Each structure stands twice: as C-alpha cells, then as structure tokens.
Structure 1
Amino acid sequence: MEVHHFMLNIIVTKHAINRYISRILSNGEKVNITKIKEDLINIALNGQLITKKK
C-alpha cells in the first residue's frame, strides 16, 4: 500500500515540476537559478509549489 502512495507522489511532483518549468519559460523574465533551486526543493518536499504569503 505504501509503495502505491509513493508512486502517486512522484507523479504529482512530476506534474508540478512540469507546470513550474512551463511557467518560467513562458514568463520570459531573467531566470534566477537560486530561486528555481529553492522552488524545486519546495516542490520535491511538498509535491507542489507552496508559495509563501507575504
């Protein structure tokens, strides 16, 4: 049962990363590698990008 849940997390994370990369590419703004690294770690840990409210 645990393995199935793990696989589901990977699929969700993969979709989140794909969406995130598409967003960066379509923005066309200067790419901030440090910010991208932080965001990708965030996605990896949470399965999606958790944006901090300011």
Structure 2
Amino acid sequence: MLREGGLRSGEMAGRIARLALVDCVPTAVAQRTPHQTEAALRATFDAVRGLRMEGQPRR
C-alpha cells in the first residue's frame, strides 16, 4: 500500500486535474461557438444587471 504525505498529494493532484478539465471544456466550447457564447454572456449580464448591490464597484 502506498503511503502519502500529510497533504495526500495523490488526492490533491486528482482534484487539480479535474479542476483543469472543468476550466478547459467550457473554454473550448466558447472558442468554437463565439457568436452563441457572446449572446449567452449578454443574456446573463442583462439578467443579473439589476441585482448588483449598492456601492459595489463595476468590474
């Protein structure tokens, strides 16, 4: 049986790999469908525009 260090490096490496995949897949889809992506981002922005809290800076 393999013994890992205190931070369980194997488990952490697996989590980091999954996070990278979760980041890469939507980015690849967005790059392949730029017009649909832009429309979806605009729709999202419009839907949440009124939800901004007072005093919060616009990014």
Pick the TM interval, shorter chain. Answer: 0.3 to 0.5
What is the TM-score of this pair, normalised by structure 2? 0.44
The higher relative CO (CA closer than 8 Å, separation ≥ 6) is in 1
What is the TM-score of this pair, normalised by structure 1? 0.47
